[in-house]
């Protein structure tokens, strides 16, 4: 019996068999400007010759799975002969869904997994639960952990005690990678170049040059300086998809501070955008989103829990999701928490080696758990009892 682990994110799907390695694949379809009629699915992205003006068709909206036609196409591609060659009747699947998912979406997912694909058994869970499982596996002496999952649509903060989710402590901030990329597109379009259609390119820019500032106002002052003194400023070479396939940051010594470049490349000059964009994770109010930043939300979450557990949560904060890869993210979060948390409590924030696949690895460990067969719903169970058996069994 094979077990397929699928961490079905809104931006990428992390997928692989529990005996093998994980693959991270875009969870969407694409259309390119040049071939309007042809739709590319998931990792066929690499076949597109000219990814400028790439049009994304996403299965998720505002963090929830609403576009089933697209999701089906992506799954058909992932489960099909080109990728994982799934033998459904002989495969168990662990699949993730967002917190407080809508019942209608859960029921559609049950139907698709059991009736269309006819998996032998399935386990529906939250990404955070898998991350917590991974964390408790690596640190068996700990009883509590707080999973901070900052992904494409949301940032979730979820406390776990002995692998049980504590629902009353779950917090959600509506700031994720999608919002950061869109905001960066707006800033650049307003200041330099019209890039509102270039989601793919600007997402790359964000990943290459953005960082989290440790002292926002000090960096702001540096970003306003002229010439060589401005250590924040970077020149980003945009791809033209013929000679330059992928954008990159110009090395400091090649930058021209006054005057034009002779080389004829298209250049984006970025200064305060580099840290003002990720700053929205810590201060959503900067762009008029009236919500707490991550550090406040963590304190708010932990303070809603029983007092004797609070010190354990502050010591076991684990970061997952793509946004945690911004340089300086962990340090900034730890520093902000340190100033908010009572002085006698130690604070420790862990950034795993690969925060994007951390929860997938947790699913892999779960699949080898001796109690795994107790947790799943088999197809026979489902055919006999319908949706209610899934509601009972899955701790969601």
SS3 content of the chain, % helix, strand, coil (to 5): 40, 20, 40
Rounded Cα gap, residues 359 and 5, in angstroms: 10
Determine which of 105-109, 197-201, 295-299, 351-355 has the lowest per-residue pLDDT on average: 197-201
Is the pLDDT score of 35 beyond 80? no
pLDDT at 253: 80
**301 C-beta neighbours (distance < 10 Å), count:** 22
pLDDT at 318: 94
84-91 contacts, C-beta under 8 A, 24 or more apart: 84/4, 84/15, 84/16, 84/17, 86/4, 86/117, 87/2, 88/117, 88/118, 88/119, 88/120, 89/118, 89/120, 90/1, 90/2, 90/120, 91/1, 91/2, 91/3, 91/4, 91/119, 91/120
Is the pLDDT score of 396 beyond 70? no
SS3 state at 44: helix
pLDDT at 315: 92
Q: What proportion of the chain, given as a percentage, has pLDDT over 70? A: 98
pLDDT at 375: 86
Is the pLDDT score of 269 beyond 90? no
Q: How confident is the model at residue 385 (pLDDT cuts 50, 70, 90)?
A: confident
pLDDT at 155: 92
**β-strand 144-150 against 317-320: which pairing, if any?**
parallel
pLDDT at 41: 79
10 Å CB burial of residue 263 (0-12, 13-18, 19+) is exposed
Rounded Cα gap, residues 96 and 361, in angstroms: 13
Is the pLDDT score of 170 beyond 70? yes
Determine which of 74-88, 178-192, 336-350 has the lowest per-residue pLDDT on average: 74-88
pLDDT at 81: 86
Residues near 43 by Cβ (< 8 Å), separated by ≥ 6? 23, 25, 26, 83
pLDDT at 349: 93
pTM of the model: 0.89
Is the pLDDT score of 71 beyond 80? yes
Q: How confident is the model at residue 181 (pLDDT cuts 50, 70, 90)?
A: very high
Domains along the chain? 141-175+291-350 (3.30.420.40), 177-278 (3.90.640.10)
Is the pLDDT score of 44 beyond 80? no
| Among candidate residues 225, 223, 221, the one with its CA nearest the CA of residue 209 | 223
């Amino acid at each position: 019996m094979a077990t397929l682990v699928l961490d079905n994110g809104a931006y990428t799907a992390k997928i692989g068999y529990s005996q093998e390695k994980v693959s991270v694949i875009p969870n969407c379809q694409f259309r390119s400007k040049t071939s309007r009629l042809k739709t590319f699915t998931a990792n066929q992205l690499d076949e597109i010759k000219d990814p400028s003006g790439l049009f994304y068709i996403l299965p998720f909206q505002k963090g929830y799975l609403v576009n089933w036609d697209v999701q089906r196409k992506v799954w058909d591609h992932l489960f099909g002969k080109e990728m994982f060659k799934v033998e459904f009747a002989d495969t168990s699947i662990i699949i993730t869904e967002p917190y407080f998912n809508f019942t209608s979406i859960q029921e559609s997912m049950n139907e698709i997994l059991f009736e269309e694909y006819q998996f032998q058994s399935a386990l529906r869970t939250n990404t955070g639960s898998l991350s917590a499982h991974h964390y408790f596996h690596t640190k068996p002496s700990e009883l509590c952990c707080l999973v901070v999952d900052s992904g494409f649509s949301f940032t979730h903060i979820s406390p776990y005690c002995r692998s049980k989710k504590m629902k009353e402590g779950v917090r959600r901030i509506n700031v994720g990678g999608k919002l950061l990329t869109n905001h960066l597109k707006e800033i650049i379009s307003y200041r330099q170049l019209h890039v509102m259609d270039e989601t793919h390119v600007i997402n790359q820019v964000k990943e290459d040059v953005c960082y989290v500032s440790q002292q926002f106002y000090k960096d702001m002052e540096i970003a306003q300086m002229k010439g060589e003194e401005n250590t924040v400023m970077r020149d980003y070479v945009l791809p033209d998809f013929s000679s330059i396939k992928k954008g990159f940051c110009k090395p400091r010594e090649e930058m021209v501070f006054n005057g034009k470049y002779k080389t004829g490349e298209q250049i984006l000059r970025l200064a305060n955008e580099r840290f003002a964009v990720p700053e929205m994770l810590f201060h959503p109010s900067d762009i008029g989103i009236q919500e707490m930043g991550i550090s406040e939300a963590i304190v708010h979450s932990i303070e809603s829990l029983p007092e004797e557990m609070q010190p354990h949560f502050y010591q076991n904060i684990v970061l997952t999701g793509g946004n945690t890869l911004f340089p300086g993210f962990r340090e900034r979060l730890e520093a902000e928490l340190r100033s908010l948390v009572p002085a006698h409590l130690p604070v420790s924030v862990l950034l795993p080696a690969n925060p994007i696949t951390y929860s997938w690895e947790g699913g892999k460990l779960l699949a080898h758990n001796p109690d795994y067969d107790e947790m799943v719903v088999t197809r026979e169970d489902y055919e006999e009892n319908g949706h209610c058996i899934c509601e009972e069994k899955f701790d969601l």
